Amino acid sequence: MTPSVSPRALLFGTFDVANYGDLLFPIVAAHRLAPLGWDVVPVSPSMQRTVFGDAMAVEPMGKLPGELRGDAVLVGGGELVHAWPASFLDEYRIGDLPTWAYPSLWLGASLVGALQDVPVIWNAPGVPAPFTEQIRRLAVEPVLAMADYVAVRDVPSRNFLGSTHRAAVSVVPDSITELSRVWPLEALAPAFAALCARKQIAADAQLMAVHLRAVGLEAEAIAQIAAMLDAFASTRGLTPILIAIGPSLGDDDSVRRLGAAMTGPHVVLDDPLSLREIAAAIAHARLYTGNSMHGYVTALSYGRPGVMIARPAFRKLAGLAEHVQRPKDVVAEWPDALSRAAETLGQPAGIPASVHEALDGHWARVAAAIADPAAGRGRRADFLRHYLSGGLGKSGMGWLLQPLSGRATGRNA
């Protein structure tokens, strides 16, 4: 008897980049879809493998559309619905990949879903800025019209998509807010014990999880942050653990620079071995302070207070704070962060029931969409016709016939 094959959801995102928060999305999606009998297959622009040993294996975009097939397409999460170049990431500095890496994760994903004639779903990604009129007309609006279910993670993201389909776009919390339901605290105990042994952390240490993204900060500014952390921690008997949440974004160098400037006891986690190790460090700390949204989300999910430093002023941080009903946890500068940390240290914190209810509703709508692939068949055909017609109208027949002209760049492998 031939064993049955589980249906597969192709989940598109930057899962080939060493950044803690992004790499959690496939894990949470797999946790949610497994009870429905579905497998999750992460898909990313490149074949890069991250430094985190427990990240899910990723399939490269080069296997699409024919070699890699799915029964549904999911977009996100993460801040990926835009058309900005990806040259700021080392992983994407390959040929012409910087120009199409991010569009491939929402527009490319939608084209794959339409070509394979399967449901296309937005798993609450972020939209960081408005699109140009041309991109909105050619790509964004047709993608939204074709999708079976669209959710984004904050109100600004919905607004940046334009007004045409606003009523059909749901706003739901970032899915990582339920991390502690995927990895209960007791499941992180082995990772935390190994971390303490590896970094020689005392058993009775009262940790303070700290994240710094020092891009653009001069040595003097880092020294000032170090002095503030030394004073804050010393007064309260805390040991800062400086965590490189996004090594691909320079966080490893950032925490090393910060640690070198500190004079009090501290731990530098510039070489995290796994996603669980980062989660364990934050979950076992008494509070979190830093620039990372998903560092903050992790703290709150495990009942630890936290503060997000919006430098630059990311709208996504305010959007998250609105969902969790803690607007004061978003501040502009480090002095404000430590002032807020002093207020919340030892106070109850957590994810409100309304967030879990919203995510339950979100995944129920995802389940309904993937269960009815025929519902969007006509929309998918219309989308392909529209995109083909728009491309021909904008770029001419040469755009369509490049594979025969010898000018095709080939697939990223």
Structure confidence at residue 3 (pLDDT): 57
> Could you tell me the pLDDT band of residue 397, with boundaries at 50, 70 and 90?
confident
With 50 as the cut, is the pLDDT of residue 408 above it? Answer: no
With 90 as the cut, is the pLDDT of residue 390 above it? Answer: no
- Rg of the chain (C-alpha set): 22
Token code pair at residue 310: 């919006």
With 90 as the cut, is the pLDDT of residue 251 above it? Answer: yes
Average pLDDT over residues 402-409: 58
pLDDT 10s digits, 295-330: 999 999 999 999 999 976 678 899 999 999 999 999
Report CA 255 to chain centroid distance, whole Å: 21
For the chain, the first-to-last Cα distance in angstroms comes to 35
Average pLDDT over residues 5-22: 96
Structure confidence at residue 410 (pLDDT): 44
The CATH number given to 184-351 is 3.40.50.2000
pLDDT, mean over the chain = 93
Share of the chain above pLDDT 90, in %: 81
State the SS3 of the chain: CCCCCCCEEEEECCCCCCCHHHHHHHHHHHHHHHHHCCEEEEEECCCCCCCCCCCCCCEEHHHCCCCCCCCEEEECCCECCCCCCCCCCHHHCCCCHHHHHHHHHHHHHHHHHHHHCCCEEEECCECCCCCCHHHHHHHHHHHHHHCCEEEECCHHHHHHCCCCCHHHEEECCCHHHHHHHHCCHHHHHHHHHHHHHHHCCCCCCCEEEEECCCCCCCHHHHHHHHHHHHHHHHHHCCEEEEECCCHHHCHHHHHHHHHHHCCCCCEEECCCCCHHHHHHHHHCCCEEEECCHHHHHHHHHCCCCEEEECCCCCHHHHHHHHHCCCHHHEECCHHHHHHHHHHHCCCCCCCCHHHHHHHHHHHHHHHHHHCCHHHHHHHHHHHHHHHHHHHHHHHCHHHHHHHHHCCCCCCCC
> Could you tell me the pLDDT band of residue 2, with boundaries at 50, 70 and 90?
low
Q: Is the pLDDT higher at 312 or at 275?
A: 275
Domain pair 8-171+372-405 / 184-351, same fold: yes
The CATH number given to 8-171+372-405 is 3.40.50
Average pLDDT over residues 132-161: 94
pLDDT 10s digits, 322-377: 999 999 999 999 999 999 999 999 999 999 999 999 999 999 999 999 999 999 99
Q: What is the pTM of this model?
A: 0.94
Return the domain boundaries, the chain.
8-171+372-405, 184-351
- CA-CA-CA-CA torsion sign (387, 390, 393, 399): negative
pLDDT 10s digits, 62-111: 999 888 999 999 999 999 999 999 988 888 998 889 999 999 999 999 99
Average pLDDT over residues 191-212: 96
Average pLDDT over residues 149-161: 96
